[in-house]
Amino acid sequence: MAENTEANRDAKQGMALALAIWGITIVSVAYFFKYGLPELASTRTSQDTLYYIILALTGFFYIAVQVFLGLYVWKYRHRDDAEGSYWHDSHKLEMAWTIGTAVILIPVVFAGLVVWQDVKAAPPEGDMLTIEAVAAQFQWDFRYPGGDGEFGEWSPELYSLENYLGVEPDDANGADDIHMINLLVLPVDQPVRILLRSKDVQHAFFLPNHRVKQDVMPGIQTMVWFTPTIVGEYEIACAELCGLGHYRMRAFLSVRSEADFQTWLTEQANQ
């Protein structure tokens, strides 16, 4: 039986801390393996690739740092006969970690620019379906331009209970606009442009399966484009804490075949 000295207690605490550090590391890494990203249902593959590259890089260093942190907590625990050493600085060490970090991070920044160009800066050429999404506490409204392909003008001054989206009543383009509440229907494999505006506070349009997340601001219209690739039902969430009802600000995205989408659109137009 070891003596109950101060050094002995410190040694036990050191070991306990090391085990706690390693326990947290194992649980958090296992969590990432168990709950990865949801199924990708759009063309944003480059975004996922970069995500996994960064996750592997940071994951490697995270595990390495935690392993050594635990080891050193144990190795350099208090001992009555040991004295701490001190030195001022090490040029070599500082050069190594500065250059090492730069060599790893600079390519990541450039890879990020390539992905940004891919998903943000350059929508594909040709006809795009354009739909408007309007966020307000606590629901999502969607407006389709109708048969003429043109939206009616809108203005925040026109917001009212009867004219929820503030569409200009005198604008003939607005007469056939289609208004959906908490349901967005899209055709598969067709690039779509979503124009976003908010009626009150800041919200965020989040489609986890499509890797789309875009802030929605009052006073400015933002835009996001993407191409759904898998027919199915998905969740649209608000990703900005926008008030007490934020948790229930949830809508659905239904991706359908081109034919089913056209049928649905005609049904809506005839209502």
Strand ranges in 20-119 using DSSP code E only, listed in sequence order: none
DSSP 209: G
Pick 21 or 238: Cβ nearer Cu ion: 238
- Closest contact distance (angstroms) between CB of 251 and Cu ion is 10
Q: Residue 179 or residue 246: which is nearer to Cu ion going by CB?
A: 246
Of 249 and 265, the one with the shorter C-beta distance to Cu ion is 249
Between 184 and 242, name the residue whose CB sits nearer to Cu ion: 242
Strand order in the sheet with 129-136: 178-181, 139-144, 129-136, 192-198, 222-226
Q: Where are the beta strands (DSSP E) in 137-265?
A: 139-144, 178-181, 183-187, 192-198, 203-207, 212-216, 222-226, 232-238, 250-256
**Structure-block tokens of residue 89:** 């600085």
Minimum distance from residue 214 beta carbon to Cu ion (Å): 12
73 vs 251, beta carbon nearer Cu ion? 251
Binding site for Cu ion (CB under 5 A): 203, 238, 242, 249
**CB 197 within 8 Å of CB 131:** no
CB of 201 vs Cu ion, minimal distance in Å? 7
106 to each of 31, 59, 62, 178, 261, how far by Cα in Å? Answer: 28, 18, 19, 47, 44
Q: Which is nearer to Cu ion, 131 or 196 (CB)?
A: 196
Q: In what order do the strands lie in the sheet with 212-216?
A: 183-187, 250-256, 232-238, 203-207, 212-216
DSSP annotation of 147 reads: T
CB of 198 to Cu ion, least distance (A): 8
Q: Which is nearer to Cu ion, 197 or 256 (CB)?
A: 197
CB under 8 Å to 176, separation ≥6 — which residues? 145, 146, 147, 148, 269
Q: Which two tokens stand for residue 253?
A: 């995205």
Task: Say which residue the tokens 């407006």 belong to.
Answer: 143
Cis (ω within 30 of 0) for the bond into 68? no
